[in-house]
Structure formats: structure tokens, C-alpha cells
Amino acid sequence: MSRIVEIAMATWRHLLEPVKPFGCTVYSDSLYTILGIPLENTVTHRPGTRYAPDSIREASCYIEFNSLYTGIDVDDVGFLDLGNISIVIGDNKHSLERIESVVEGFLIDYPRKTLIVLGGEHTLSYGVIAGILKRLGDSSRVTYIVFDAHLDLRRDYLGYSYSHACTQYLIHRDFGIKPVIIGARSWCREEIEYAVKHGIKVYTVLDTWSKPMDIISYIRETLEHSDKVYISIDMDVFDPAYAPGVSNPEALGIDTKTFFTLLTGIVEAIADKNNSIAAVDIVETNPLVDVNNVTSVLAARIVIEVTALLHTRLHGQA
């Protein structure tokens, strides 16, 4: 065992803070692990994403765990909740390194568990992917699917590159991973030109309504060339009518029916191609501007339905 691996195994747990667990119950043997990342160093409009992991957990304690899309009761599956990563306030680069260390340590200790991340601003995806690649070693093995109203392909925002507005640019620049972006409806010229130049696939919200099966078919094709899938769900992909509690809301968003249709099709494609899930993150919920906690409730429901889909489609259990 290398010295670096020894350090990761010894230290990553010390970066975690205890919290009320998702669903208010702990299943230590569960295949599914919750990790909170209360990251909020570069939010540029409405602050509050650092409160999201605990708000989503709180919402999960007051909703049923039956899965509408699979018919199973996720109470029988449960979650192991690791708590929240202690973030370095004001230092996003250091925070991302800390996230990388925790994710790498988690994968060393729990190689067969699926990681479900509650954020936090979207830059956390960079740290999670960095930790995953420490174990995989080959970025070409990863299919990266992003639900987001924005492209996040700016080279910098207000002179700073480790910004939530630059997340997908950083991941492509540093790891060579091209995201498949679904539900986009807001971008600047620099971002769309970058996407076209580098062959980054962008499906607008209009595409999700008019040709959802084309989106799923394209993802099926990309899965031929990978064996791990990372799914990132930015809650501002939804129309503000469904998810008002986000920092950067955009009108004309995706509806919940369309989202779950796409998600179900994507997970089924992953199962058919014998890929596995590297991680799922749910980011950019902002409880401080939410309305009656409906966004946190939706985020908690996504965790339940994602888990049920993975459990029945990928692990073949009912």
C-alpha cells in the first residue's frame, strides 16, 4: 500500500462533521451512502447553498420512502450517512482538495457502495470527480451527465476560475471529461462557443420536451466507451415553479415528469450497458430562498427515486 493511500485512509474521516442522518435512520450495511458538502464559496447571486445538505436531510425525515417509479420501499434499503465535509470557508481551491481527499478515502474504504452527494454549490462536482479519478486513473472510462439550466463553461468569472460558473470548463480542462448537459437554457457567447469548439453535447430544455428519447439514445451510445457514470443534478434545471429555492433561478425550466422520464431512461441505459454509477450529486438547493421547503423536498424525493432505480435496475433487487 502506498504512503498516499495510507494517509487518505487515515485522515478522510477527520474531515467529516456529524449531522442528523438522511431519513433520520442509519443503515450501516446499506449499499448507498449520503455525503453532505455544504460548499458556498463562490455563489454570485443569492447565498444559502451551504444550508442545503441539512435542509434536504430534514425534509427526508417527513416524507414517505416508497418509490413511485419502481414500487419498492426504500426504507428496506436505507442509507449510510457519513455527515458533512468540513469546508474551508473562503478558499474554494482548498475546499475542493478536501472534497477530493474524502471521496478518495471513501472509495478506498467502501469500494462497493454508491455515493450520493448533497450540495452545496456546483463546483463540488470537480472535487468529487477528482477523488473518483484517483481510484479509476482513467478519465476516458467516465460518462458525465449534467442536468443544469446553465453551461458553467466560463474560463473564469469575475477573474476567478474556481467558480461555480466555471465547473464544467474546469472538469473538461483538467480531466478531459466532456459533460453531456441536459436542460440548458441560459449561457453567454463564450460558453456556447467553447461547447461547439470542443464537441460538448448540449441539450436545451426544448430538447427535453420534444425529443427525450433522442437524449437517452445518445447517452446509450456514449456508454459504449465507458464503464462508470457520474450524474450531477443542479436543482436550477427545474422551472422555478417546481424548485424556487435555488441561487440562480431561470424561467422556462424542466418539469418533474420530464426529469424523471429522462432519469429513468438513463439509469435503464446504464444497466443495459453494464456500466456502474460512480456517484450522483444534487447541488445548488438554497433553503434561504425556498418556498415552504418544496425544493428541499424535491431534492429528497430525487434521492429516494435515484436510489430505488439504482437498486432495481443496476443491482437487480426488488
pLDDT digit string, tens, across residues 181-195: 999 999 999 999 999
The residue segments making up the domain with residue 273 are: 3-314
Q: 143 and 275 in contact (C-beta within 8 Å)?
A: yes
Question: Exposed, middle or buried: residue 70 (CB in 10 Å: 0-12, 13-18, 19+)?
Answer: buried
Give 281's strand partners.
Answer: 117, 232
**Any idea what the CATH number is for the domain that residue 22 is in?**
3.40.800.10
User: Strands 228-234, 276-283: parallel, antiparallel or unpaired by DSSP?
Assistant: parallel
Q: Give the pLDDT score at 197.
A: 98
Size of the chain in residues: 318
Q: Give the pLDDT score at 137.
A: 85
Q: Give the pLDDT score at 10.
A: 57
Please confirm whether the linkage preceding 120 is cis (ω < 30° from 0): yes
Per DSSP, the residues of 12-77 read: GGGGEE--PPGGG---TT-SEEEEEE---SS--SS--GGGHHHHHHHHHTTS--B-TTT--BGGGT
pLDDT digit string, tens, across residues 128-157: 999 999 998 888 899 999 999 999 999 999
Number of separate domains in the chain? 1
**Sites in the chain below the pLDDT cut of 50:** 1-8
Q: 153 and 170 in contact (C-beta within 8 Å)?
A: no
Q: 56 and 118 in contact (C-beta within 8 Å)?
A: yes
End-to-end CA distance of the chain: 38
User: For residue 288, how many C-alpha atoms fall within 13 Å in the half-sphere facing its CB?
Assistant: 12
Q: Give the pLDDT score at 99.
A: 97
